Structure 1
Amino acid sequence: MPGPVRAALWAGIAFLWLPVVLLVAYAFSASPVPFRWGGFSLRWFAALAANERLLEAAWLSLRVAAGAATLAVLLGGATGWVLARHGPFAGRALLGALAGAPLVLPEVVTGLSLLLLFVALESAIGWPAGRGALTVLLAHATLGSAYVAVIVQSRLASRERDLEEAALDLGATPAAAFATVTLPLMAPSLAAGWLLAFTLSLDDVVLASFTSGPAGTTLPVALFSMLRLGMTPEVNALATLLLAAAGLTLAAVGLLLRRRG
């Protein structure tokens, strides 16, 4: 690799990771100012353990993200499979356009539309009753399903139908062929879609702001409110724990894949 290209690469990596390293460092600062070093201390981790509001928001975000990602995989996976394997049919173009619409629409438009939908449904049938974790989950699943559909469709489009047709020729029912051939082919894209939808949900502020209520305050919404009122280094401590959890998860997955290889 040429020297200038290598220097540019390391400069880009430093630009991306230096703020993260500083955030972790300031989590161990004794200063009450989030971005000022005041000596090594673990006081903010102890303060975080006593901050029930922030911990509840983090736990709610994890639950909502897991539920939204699972629902997105079910909806998006089915949509991607239909678009990739069922050829031309009436309404195919409309289905593809509607499935991909959340990818191109501004989240403000999507959030406002979902809010109006939830309000109309509550007035008409009494469900959902108010805005909370359920409405946030449905909103995030709507966005995540669009990403999953694209990933699954791309995965299946790059794979011929030879194996599925061979299974059918050998006497397998369509359901058996789907379960034993198509679904394993889709599995990597479904896993990738789940992780992407989980990350999008965990990180979302706009949709959650429109569709949440007092009982559905996710972590990004709570952090955004703290940003306006004044943050404390407890946020740095929480971010450090989340980074550690993500790092340990990646390390465990890498170790598992290495042992299988």
Structure 2
Amino acid sequence: MPTALITGASAGLGAEFARQLARRRADLVLVARSREALEELAGELRGEHGVAVDVIVADLAREDDVERVAARLRDSGDPVDLLVNNAGFGLPLQFADNDIDDEVRHLRVHVEASMRLMHAALQTMRGRGGRIINVASVAGFISRSTYSACKSWLIGFSRWANAEYAGDGVSVTALCPGFVHTTFHARMGLQAGQEGVPSVLWLQAPDVVRAGLRDAARGAPVSIPSLRYKAIVALTGLLPRSFVARVARRGRV
């Protein structure tokens, strides 16, 4: 059985990755801060699909917790075949008004933890083969506060790593959804139809995960679910950056 390790697995896209991979008979390692939520999901997946599910309770803003997850990825005796870097959270766009400690934690979770876990995964994947999915965002194609900057780093690094390690049998894919019906936006108080975000721009989590898994299997460096978001990303490359930045102030992706 292949084994997948998923961060931010207690809810949202992380939980959906877990459910879809369990249906494909993959064994799982679920990582998040909430033990109760992880154990509940683990019990559900064991009961419904008969797969092995391990739980690691970790806060990826803490270096010692990241190292515990990295140690699991470096375990060549029980190797991980798929790493899904999904853990993350959003902040208000007003960088200067945000608490700087929150901004640093945001950077650690989105960039530093993802980098450390990719480095650990590559120690056992190179030559043996494996896949890494970094959950980024279409915000990574748009200049808009630190969230966009973090996601832009994930996209750029995934593109490079996908080419660099293809010869070792490893694919690295940046999954770039837009607005998705998950608890991520709900925690920020954002729902469909609010802050000028039309309902048509909201995606369903199962569709996003299916697209990410499909494109990762194809070895694609970037996965943008839905034709409408592919068109939006293409358009951002043609329009003046100042205009894109003004439009991007509306809503939170």
Q: TM-score range by the shorter chain?
A: under 0.3
**Structure (1 or 2) with the greater helix fraction:** 1
Q: TM-score, normalised by structure 1?
A: 0.22
Question: Higher strand proportion, which one?
Answer: 2
Between Structure 1 and Structure 2, whose CA radius of gyration is higher? 1
Of structures 1 and 2, the one with the larger relative CO (CA 8 A, separation 6+) is 1
